[in-house]
Amino acid sequence: MNSRGSGVLEGVRVLELGQVLAGPFAGAILADLGAEVVKLERVEGGDDARRMGPEFRHGDALNFQVFNRGKQSVAIDLKTDAGKAAFEQLAAEADIFIHNLRPGVPQALGIDGPSVCERHPRLIYCEISAFGHLGPMAPRPGYEPLIQAFSGLSSTNGGPDDPPMRAGSSICDQGTGMWVVIGALAMLQRRAATGRGGLLQTSLLETALVWNGQKADAFTNQGYLPARHRSGHPGFVPYEAFETADGPLLICCGNDRLFAKLATEMGRADWLQDERFATNRGRLANKTALFEQLEPLLASTPRAAWLARFESAGVPCAPVHTVPEALAHPHVQALGMLAPVPEEGFSLTALPLSIDGSRPALTTAAPRLGAHNQAHGLPVFKL
């Protein structure tokens, strides 16, 4: 392996045996931060994400580009002696190994955590599963919507009369990839002091339970679940989206001072003298009564007018944008979140952080299957 040349993780070597999303997303984060990431793929077909949607570039789907930019691709057959030897060679050179193989597959291939860590004691071995490494369901595979349903996360989405629904983004897959990066970097710090790598295990289910932790902790400690709100909050009123004359507007009054500004700006200073509405606890208990007066007022005026008035008064608010509207907004454009992929003529969403004032740039597009076998001294397969 050779260093890829720039970034805060320059010199860190990552071996990724990832499929579709959680493992590849962890690898993409590390690649964007400057690590050299070698993606191991099956000789026949490679990562299933290459076909996860219509062809976008070089026969591969856009999703594959999103989660595999900046990596190298090595195609090997781990069921052969040559493939196993190639894995050991690459693992010996790596600092971090990431996989999200189905439970049981690493053991069958001889690359399970305990055995690999014994052969490569400095390696940080990161294992992603669906349901976790403990418990009766540990052997089961799983996918994003299944985990959202099983964890209870789907049951907390939407409003009180809505059926359970999944979140629009793959928050369990991508969140698990983030936990892998956090854990791996923490273990790198430990290795710097001890010289010892180790085994990191996480799962989509554990991530889902953490994302739902606020509601789960309320049930565990207080015996009830917060009410479901499409866009609102169980602890503040008003704190959700409302229809204006021409589009939805989200208003967040997180304390009584902000509500006072809202009431004044809407010409309803009388709300501040009404014991039902003057305090947040009063508004929580009398939400329906307040909204019967608030909603017709908001619906009588265009959104832009309310935005101008509320922003001037210091009332936290935002238009509920579509994705194209959000991308076109001058502030989003100023952040520079869409980064060009060099020499490819398209852009992808970059990492949501800046280091020393600069957002990590995208270095290369996702690799073609097996494009880097020769660079690592491995046989080049006819793909």
Q: Which domains does the chain have, with CATH numbers?
A: 13-212+339-376 (3.40.50.10540), 239-319 (3.30.1540.10)
Residues annotated catalytic, as ranges: 233
Per-residue pLDDT at 228: 83
pLDDT in tens, 122-137: 999 999 999 999 999 9
Percent of the chain with pLDDT over 90: 90
Average model confidence (pLDDT) for the chain? 94
- pTM, whole model, 2 decimals? 0.91
Work out the pLDDT band at 230, boundaries 50, 70, 90: confident
Averaged pLDDT for residues 45-56: 94
Per-residue pLDDT at 383: 52
| CB neighbours of residue 376 within 10 Å | 16
pLDDT in tens, 343-367: 999 999 999 999 999 999 999 999 9
With a cut of 80, say whether residue 4 has pLDDT above it.
no
Q: Are strands 36-41 and 72-75 parallel, antiparallel or unpaired?
A: parallel
Kindly write down the DSSP assignment for every residue of 288-309, as one continuous string. Answer: HHHHHHHHHHHHTS-HHHHHHH
Averaged pLDDT for residues 317-344: 94
Per-residue pLDDT at 6: 63
Work out the pLDDT band at 5, boundaries 50, 70, 90: very low
CA 383 – CA 380 distance, rounded (Å): 9
Closest listed residue to residue 362, CA positions, set 381, 379, 344:
344
Peptide bond into 296 cis (omega under 30): no
Residue type for position 361:
A
